[in-house]
Amino acid sequence: MEAGALALLMFVTTCGVLLLGFPVAFTLAGVSLSFAVLGSLLGVFDLNLLFGAVPSRFVGVMTNEVLVAVPLFVFMGVMLERSRIAEQLLETMGLMFGRLRGGLGMSVIAVGAVLAASTGIVGATVVTMGLLSLPAMLKAGYDPKLATGTICASGTLGQVIPPSIVLVLLGDILQGANTQAQLAKGNFAPDPVSVVDLFAGAFIPGLVLVGLYVTWILFKALIDPKSCPALVDESGRPDDMTRRFFSVLLPPAILIVLVLGSILAGAATPTESAAVGAVGAMALAAGRGQFNLEILRNVMRSTLSISSMVFVILLGASIFSLTFRGFGGDDMVADILKDIPGGAFGAMFAVMALMFLMGFFLDFIEIIFVVVPIVGPILLGMGLDPIWFGVMIAINLQTSFLTPPFGFALFYLRGVAPASVTTMDIYRGIIPFVIIQVIGLAIVACWPGLATWLPKQLFG
């Protein structure tokens, strides 16, 4: 059997085993090692290549300072979630805009964007928003389809809006892919691609998506007022809205500005800013009387669980990518992409379509660690801008998380939605937002400057 055929069979087998529900990290490492041994027996794979490179890869992961930001950002997001800050944000935003038709829906989008900028974890954000806002929207008379669609869409903004875990992991991988692509072209001093560049590149496209969501809510309020009525508050608007603004809305906003602003201004690295965010989240929780040893213990356990999952998957993906390259799979993929009509655009479209379909079944971490290291150097070698490429991947994965019938965000919301909200309500409600996502993806594809302008202005 040819090495290229084994590489393709290994990729298909890995996807199949993942669909069966086996743990991701052990699947990536186990399937890769099995095929490496099989290839060695068939004389088409050198095991010394794998076992010689794996230790240095693992040491590189453990000593990578950028990846230290992952558990710190996770801690920040989980702390804001467990300390009921998100609940207070939603309540206050609803009181501020609830008198407007569609005001509660716009408040949900705004809070979703804030949570996205503080957690970056899709499942946690969708579940939190579902538990907090769905009952309030249904009680206010919102159409269940519009309510569920708004929650799912706003809950997945954490894929795009920085500081996102997706962007941290993607930036680290794209840096290596870009270096590999430039070295292959004879450029031995390539411009670095950092997580900070990706944060800056994703900022404007993230705001564009938020703007498109709000526009849809306003449009629905205009053509179908019954679907998103104004809130009817028997006590009227509270007299202490000024106090609520300064005590509830302003502190999280200041924290996010400090974290993201320090990164974009170049005053701190993502890891340093993540540490500030983690300490700031504890300070916010303590200031509201929502911080104690039990909450800290639960937050640390969740952080440990999520971070361990990410890093074990990363180590397993390292074995997978080394084995795939050892079979010559990267050369095979390069030949396939170069033969696709349309040049770089056609190859990019094919990769985006593949990632979109894989997003139905696999988590974003699996897709980033499995697919990007393979196709990244090839596409970047065709002249694509790495920052634009990374932002396109993030938006694309967000879209796949929303698309029926397999979108993960839909399953998350289904798990916490009341029985009165049917699965078809969720599916039908998300369709307009999927269309909005495709429009947003097309906008960024047609105007790459939306992703590249801010990094150039900030970093040259």
Task: Assess contact for 75 and 282: CB atoms under 8 A.
Answer: no
Q: Convert the pLDDT of each residue in 272-292 to its tens digit.
A: 888 888 898 899 888 878 888
In this predicted structure, the answer to whether residue 4 has a pLDDT above a threshold of 50 is yes
Please state at what angle helix 372-381 crosses helix 386-402, rounded to 10 degrees.
140
Alpha-helical segments (H) within 117-194: 122-139, 144-155, 165-184
What span, in angstroms and rounded, lies between the C-alpha atoms of 450 and 28? 35
Nearest to 43 by CA among 3, 13, 79: 3
Determine, yes or no, domain membership for 40. Answer: no
Using the CB atoms, write b or e for 408-445: b if 16+ within 10 Å.
bbbebbbebbeeebeeebbbbbbebbbebbeebbeebb
- Which percentage of the chain shows pLDDT scores above 70? 93
What pLDDT is recorded for position 117?
Answer: 60
What span, in angstroms and rounded, lies between the C-alpha atoms of 260 and 262? 6
- The average confidence (pLDDT) of the chain is 82
Determine, yes or no, domain membership for 15. Answer: no
H or E stretch at 283 = helix 270-287
Confirm whether pTM is higher than 0.85. Answer: no
Determine, yes or no, domain membership for 377. Answer: yes
What span, in angstroms and rounded, lies between the C-alpha atoms of 171 and 271? 13
Q: What is the number of other CB atoms lying within 10 angstroms of the CB of residue 41?
A: 9
Q: Convert the pLDDT of each residue in 90-132 to its tens digit.
A: 777 777 776 778 888 888 888 877 776 655 555 666 777 777 7
Give the tokens for residue 449.
């400057």
In this predicted structure, the answer to whether residue 409 has a pLDDT above a threshold of 60 is yes
Spatial neighbors of 435 by CB under 8 A, at least 6 apart, are: none
In this predicted structure, the answer to whether residue 233 has a pLDDT above a threshold of 70 is no
Give the tokens for residue 116.
């996205």
Q: Convert the pLDDT of each residue in 24-60 to its tens digit.
A: 778 888 898 999 999 888 888 888 878 888 888 788 7
Determine, yes or no, domain membership for 394. Answer: yes
Residue 264 belongs to domain spanning: 67-290+332-459
Determine, yes or no, domain membership for 246. Answer: yes
Considering all CA atoms of the chain, what is the largest pairwise distance in Å, rounded to the nearest integer?
Answer: 78
CA dihedral 201, 207, 213, 215 (to 10 degrees): -130
**165-169 average pLDDT score:** 82
Cα-trace Rg, the chain: 23
Give the tokens for residue 31.
């399937």
What span, in angstroms and rounded, lies between the C-alpha atoms of 132 and 111? 11
Q: Convert the pLDDT of each residue in 370-402 to its tens digit.
A: 788 888 888 888 888 999 999 999 999 888 878
Dump strand ranges (E) for 159-280. none
In the chain, how many domains are there? 1
pLDDT band at 146 (very low <50, low <70, confident <90, very high): very high
What pLDDT is recorded for position 116?
Answer: 67
What span, in angstroms and rounded, lies between the C-alpha atoms of 57 and 67? 14
What pLDDT is recorded for position 287?
Answer: 84
CA dihedral 126, 130, 131, 136 (to 10 degrees): 150
Determine, yes or no, domain membership for 34. Answer: no
Q: What is the number of other CB atoms lying within 10 angstroms of the CB of residue 222?
A: 11
What span, in angstroms and rounded, lies between the C-alpha atoms of 398 and 157? 7
Determine, yes or no, domain membership for 379. Answer: yes
Maximum average pLDDT range among 69-83, 116-130, 228-242: 69-83
Give the tokens for residue 236.
């009227």
What span, in angstroms and rounded, lies between the C-alpha atoms of 74 and 57? 24
Determine, yes or no, domain membership for 112. Answer: yes
